[in-house]
């Protein structure tokens, strides 16, 4: 057999391996039929909590990425399951029961007192415990990325939001004041309150960078995984690069809003241009991640060679 024919057959075999279809869902359908009572319980667990997350978080600017992450994460699970289902073995019932007894009470308390941030994560924890009991640890370990990626659909706790956004808000506000004051603008401020000319602005959490950090982290990780299937070291490097990119983008957004307020008035800054500036800065942030990835290509190749010395 010629080398050309051999390469052609190998490519065709690879294409067959990479093809995914509804037939890959047949084992899942059989499992749901076999554990129908468990499936009903999982649906009763997921439905109310996911509705609460969607109604309280996904309708806000900070959580608008949630539906996109949910859809792409489910696709990733479907894609990876066809590759790892041969590893499925029932997990240790004792470990699953112990984990359930720890997570379930926290979920119930959070559900009763309506702490949606804790409720969402605990609901997800119960699903992972159930998955471990059904298919064991090896498939879950192989699907580590979709599991981690799915966490982005849940809102972070308010205490974390306050702890992270307050320094960002103050730092971005002060940097914008210093820059514009140095350029001769009539601007002053204290904390997150900015006064320019006759107008006052309050830098909110949406402008402080946390929503961009979360959304960009989710999109960046998805991009890294799909495009490169990179190892965790390179993924961590890109994650760290997201932080300065998001902060720079939000600093630019705050500058734009201050200048819009100064030249066009408060109504212009708080109306359509406010949302438009957010979308524009988010787009430039995503492009910034792509640029960082392109610049870090030599490092990615070096890490790949180190992981696969052969």
At residue 233, the pLDDT reads: 74
253 is catalytic: yes
**DSSP H or E segment with residue 199:** strand 199-202
| Helix 297-307 with 272-295: angle, nearest 10 deg | 50
Residue with tokens 């307050």: 166
User: Listing from the earlier edge strand, what are the strands of the sheet with 193-196?
Assistant: 187-190, 193-196, 199-202
How many of the other CB atoms lie within 10 Å of CB of 231?
A: 15
**Catalytic-role residue among 80, 207, 302, 305:** 207
- CB contact at 8 A, 220 and 242: yes
- Rounded Cα distance between 189 and 40, Å, is 55
125-127-132 Cα angle (round to 5):
95
Residue with tokens 């050309």: 4
**Catalytic-role residue among 80, 111, 253, 300:** 253
- Rounded Cα distance between 68 and 152, Å, is 10
Q: In the chain, which stretches have pLDDT less than 50?
A: 1-18
Residues 217-239 have pLDDT tens digits of: 788 788 878 876 656 677 777 77
At residue 200, the pLDDT reads: 82
What is the DSSP annotation of 284-298? HHHHHHHHHHHHTHH
207 is catalytic: yes
Q: How far is CA 45 from the centre of its chain?
A: 22
Classify residue 25 as exposed, middle or buried by CB count within 10 Å of its CB (0-12, 13-18, 19+): middle
Residue (of 198, 153, 167, 190) closest to 62 by Cα position: 153
- Rounded Cα distance between 222 and 238, Å, is 11
Task: Say what the pTM is.
Answer: 0.73
At residue 109, the pLDDT reads: 94
Structure-token pair, residue 207: 């402008």
List Cβ neighbours of 31 (8 Å cut-off, separation of 6 or more). 134
At residue 12, the pLDDT reads: 46
- Using DSSP's 3-state secondary structure scheme, residue 138 falls into helix
Q: How does 189-215 read in b/e, with b if 16+ C-beta sit within 10 Å?
A: beebebebeeeebebebbbbbbbbbbb
At residue 209, the pLDDT reads: 54
| Helix 232-264 with 272-295: angle, nearest 10 deg | 150
Structure-token pair, residue 12: 């065709």
Cα separations (Å) of 43 from 60, 132, 139, 169, 280? 25, 17, 22, 40, 38
- Rounded Cα distance between 248 and 285, Å, is 9
Strand partners, 201: 194
Residues 40-57 have pLDDT tens digits of: 888 888 999 999 999 988
């Amino acid at each position: 057999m010629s080398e050309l024919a051999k390469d052609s057959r190998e490519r065709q075999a690879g294409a067959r391996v990479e093809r995914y279809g509804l037939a890959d869902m047949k084992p899942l359908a059989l499992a749901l039929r076999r554990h129908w009572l468990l499936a009903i319980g999982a649906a009763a667990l997921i439905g109310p909590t996911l509705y609460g997350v969607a109604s309280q978080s996904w309708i806000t600017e900070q959580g608008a990425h949630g539906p996109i992450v949910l859809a792409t994460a489910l696709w990733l699970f479907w894609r990876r399951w066809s590759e790892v289902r041969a590893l499925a073995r029932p997990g240790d019932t004792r470990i699953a029961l112990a984990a359930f007894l720890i997570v379930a009470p926290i979920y119930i308390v959070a559900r009763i007192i309506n702490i949606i941030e804790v409720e969402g994560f605990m609901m997800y924890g119960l699903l992972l415990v159930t998955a471990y009991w059904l298919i064991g640890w090896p498939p879950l370990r192989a699907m580590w990325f979709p599991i981690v990626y799915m966490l982005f659909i849940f809102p972070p706790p308010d205490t974390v939001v306050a702890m992270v956004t307050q320094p960002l808000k103050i730092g971005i506000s002060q940097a914008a004041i210093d820059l514009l004051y140095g350029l001769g603008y009539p601007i002053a401020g204290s904390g997150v309150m900015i006064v320019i000319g006759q107008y006052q602005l309050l830098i909110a959490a949406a402008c402080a960078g946390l929503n961009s950090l979360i959304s960009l982290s989710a999109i960046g990780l998805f991009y890294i995984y799909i495009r490169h299937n990179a190892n965790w070291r390179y993924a961590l490097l890109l994650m760290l690069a997201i932080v300065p990119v998001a902060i720079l983008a939000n600093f630019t957004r705050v500058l734009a809003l201050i200048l819009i307020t100064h030249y066009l008035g408060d109504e212009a800054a708080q109306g359509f241009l406010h949302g438009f500036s957010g979308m524009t800065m988010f787009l430039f942030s995503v492009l910034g991640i792509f640029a960082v990835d392109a610049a870090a290509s030599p490092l990615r190749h070096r890490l790949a060679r180190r992981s696969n010395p052969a």
